[in-house]
């Protein structure tokens, strides 16, 4: 049978359109699963500078840790162990590095709490007072005491491991109100619960932060927890992930799989290959997958993020 040139062009166009639609579908699926990598920075002198993290091209969120003392009549204090001394003004040199990261789309948040800090609130007024202080010292305010110089951070992270669970929602709401009233950029709120559900400090439960529906990101810590050891228990890990992602109140925040980046952690280290081959393919399709969080990203194994980047 003879085929006209017009018919040939029509068939070719249909095939081209079909290929384009298939490519668009694959791209859409990949983007739907595309995750980010968050990293805590500030507690190890082997981490290098903030710009060194940016230069790897592997990180999307940096969590400066920790504001380790606040509330209950105390002055708030920043501890960047091994990097600089905040009281002497030595940490102000990081202002330009923070701006560089932000100019490339990396969100930089201030993490509150930690395992060894002294913190907590006795009343909602204390939480709102801290919101004002953080605004003045780390965000859009004009406080004289600015440990990180004139850098304007993108939000706060809560790594609350003791000291009570109340009034953190008042802190988050206070910061959001200050930002809105001063035409500031969006203030992101994240938290880092332990993976046994629910977290004793952060919930979700009445009066705890997760009940407030304020969180943008949740960095679930699948490590350094005496209640559970995840090594070799991949089904249990996926089950815990499913519980976290399905039990959060709407609007559901993005949930990140939190791991140490080296075997120097007390427990919970997982090899990049195990994460890529046995965990990520299973959790990506469950709930509100956001990506991977790494503790101490360049300690012991600076290549961890690079090893997993294409799979996240």
Q: Which of 36, 47, 126, 161 is catalytic?
A: 161
Residue 184: CB atoms within 10 A of its CB come to 17
**Is 161 a residue of the active site?**
yes
Taking the whole predicted model, whether its pTM rises above 0.85 is answered as yes
**Contacts (Cβ under 8 Å, ≥6 apart) of 59:** 37, 38, 39, 53, 106, 297, 305
User: What residues have CB less than 8 Å from 250, skipping those under 6 apart?
Assistant: 213
- pLDDT tens, per residue, the chain with 312 residues: 333 444 344 443 444 334 443 333 333 333 444 799 999 999 987 788 898 888 899 999 999 999 999 999 999 999 998 799 999 999 999 999 999 999 999 999 999 999 999 999 999 999 999 999 999 999 999 999 999 999 999 999 999 999 999 999 999 999 999 999 999 999 999 999 998 899 999 998 888 999 899 999 999 999 877 555 565 678 888 999 999 999 998 899 999 999 998 876 667 788 899 999 999 999 999 989 999 999 987 655 558 999 999 999
Domains in the chain: boundaries: 1-33, 37-311
Beta strands in the chain (DSSP E): 36-41, 61-71, 74-78, 107-114, 118-119, 155-160, 188-191, 217-221, 254-260, 289-295
Domain covering 37-311 in this structure, CATH number:
3.20.20.80
Rounded to 5 degrees, what are φ and ψ at 143? -65, 150
DSSP type of residue 260: E
* Interstrand relation of 61-71 and 74-78 (parallel, antiparallel or unpaired): antiparallel
Query: Is 237 in contact with 194 (CB distance < 8 Å)?
Result: no
């Amino acid at each position: 049978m003879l085929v006209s040139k017009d018919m040939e062009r029509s068939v070719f166009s249909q095939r081209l359109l079909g290929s384009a639609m298939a490519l668009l579908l694959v791209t859409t699926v990949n983007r739907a699963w595309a995750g980010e990598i968050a990293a805590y920075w500030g507690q190890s002198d082997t981490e290098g500078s903030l710009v060194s993290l940016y230069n790897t091209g592997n990180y999307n969120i940096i969590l400066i840790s920790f504001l380790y003392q606040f509330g209950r009549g105390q002055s708030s204090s920043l501890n960047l162990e091994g990097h600089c001394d905040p009281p002497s003004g030595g940490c102000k040199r990081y202002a330009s590095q923070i701006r560089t990261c932000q100019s490339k789309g990396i969100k930089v948040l201030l993490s509150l709490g930690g395992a060894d800090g002294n913190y907590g609130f006795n009343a909602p007024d204390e939480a709102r007072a801290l919101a004002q202080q953080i605004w003045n010292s780390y965000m859009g305010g004009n406080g004289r005491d600015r440990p990180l110089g004139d850098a304007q951070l993108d939000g706060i992270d809560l790594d609350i491991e003791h000291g009570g669970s109340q009034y953190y929602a008042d802190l988050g709401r206070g910061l959001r109100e200050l930002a809105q009233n001063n035409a500031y950029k969006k203030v992101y709120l994240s938290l880092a619960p332990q993976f046994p559900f629910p977290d004793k400090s952060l919930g979700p439960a009445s009066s705890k932060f997760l009940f407030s529906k304020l969180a943008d990101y949740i960095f679930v810590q699948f490590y350094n927890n005496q209640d559970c050891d995840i090594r070799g228990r991949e089904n249990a890990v996926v089950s815990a992930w499913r519980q976290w992602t399905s039990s959060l109140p709407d609007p559901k925040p993005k949930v990140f799989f939190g791991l140490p980046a080296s075997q120097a952690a007390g427990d919970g280290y997982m090899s990049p290959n195990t994460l890529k081959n046995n965990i990520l393919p299973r959790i990506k399709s469950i709930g509100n997958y956001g990506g991977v969080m790494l503790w101490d990203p360049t300690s012991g194994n600076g290549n961890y993020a690079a090893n997993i980047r294409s799979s996240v």
